A and B are shown apart, each in its own frame.
Chain A
């Protein structure tokens, strides 16, 4: 049973436009969410996180939105740059339940076309 789902395996966006990556979760105990970016042959790199007490967190070109009632979060990248081309993983944890391990989605491959 996949608790964290990224239903789009891939996404192509033009340089300068907005990239929107989506993630759904099923476990209502999850209260902390993270996005990671992964280049080939490298480990994932932490991008941005959000606690369930917020519905938005912004860091430069990256914004994460959380809709708890829909159990949905999204990562917005604007403007998209060719260097953003990578696999993006959504992850979730139940911190208040004792910092359970991160549960990752299968990832979305973003291609930013110049």
Chain B
């Protein structure tokens, strides 16, 4: 069974540009989560999508946004990039909320570098 996949692996942008990161969940998983791991910090929750709806967002500015498609894949968009947006962005998926199996399974991440 294929795991969570993310693309691209690495992304280099300049300040002020926009970045788009993509994630495909494990087959059968309907929830997708985005996290940011900046250098020296733990995983910070960004966004949670389930069944195409945004269910929750973390303490990040509105220039961080995303969407979930009918096939449950997801995009994370970061507008007006700032230097401090440089981080590893991780996507995770899980079965339906409320399932007894709630573990989130992570992809390998996209390393975003803003110069």
Instruction: Verify that A and B bind, or say they do not.
Output: yes
Interface residues of A (CB under 8 A from B): 32, 34, 36, 41-46, 49, 89, 91, 93, 95, 98-107
CB<8 Å pairs between A and B, sample of 18: A36-B106, A43-B4, A44-B43, A44-B90, A46-B106, A49-B103, A93-B102, A95-B102, A98-B97, A101-B33, A101-B45, A101-B56, A102-B43, A104-B35, A104-B42, A104-B44, A104-B45, A106-B42
A101 to B38 alpha-carbon distance, docked (Å): 18
**Shortest distance from the beta carbon of A76 to any chain B beta carbon, whole Å:** 19
Q: Is the CB of B98 within 8 A of A99?
A: yes
A77 to B41 alpha-carbon distance, docked (Å): 24
- In this assembly, does B109 line the interface, its C-beta being within 8 Å of a C-beta of chain A? yes
- List the A side residues contacting B43 at CB < 8 Å: 44, 89, 91, 102, 104
**Shortest distance from the beta carbon of A6 to any chain B beta carbon, whole Å:** 8
Q: Given A104-B42, A104-B43, decide whether A99 and B102 contact each other with a Cβ distance below 8 A.
A: yes
- List the A side residues contacting B106 at CB < 8 Å: 36, 43-46
Interface residues of B (CB under 8 A from A): 4, 33, 35, 41-45, 48, 56, 58, 90, 92, 97-98, 102-109
Using CB atoms, name the residue of chain B closest to A4.
B42
- List the A side residues contacting B45 at CB < 8 Å: 101-104
A45 to B104 alpha-carbon distance, docked (Å): 9
Taking a contact as CB atoms closer than 8 A, the residue among A43, A103, A104 that contacts B108 in the complex is A43
Using CB atoms, name the residue of chain A closest to B47.
A101
A15 to B44 alpha-carbon distance, docked (Å): 32
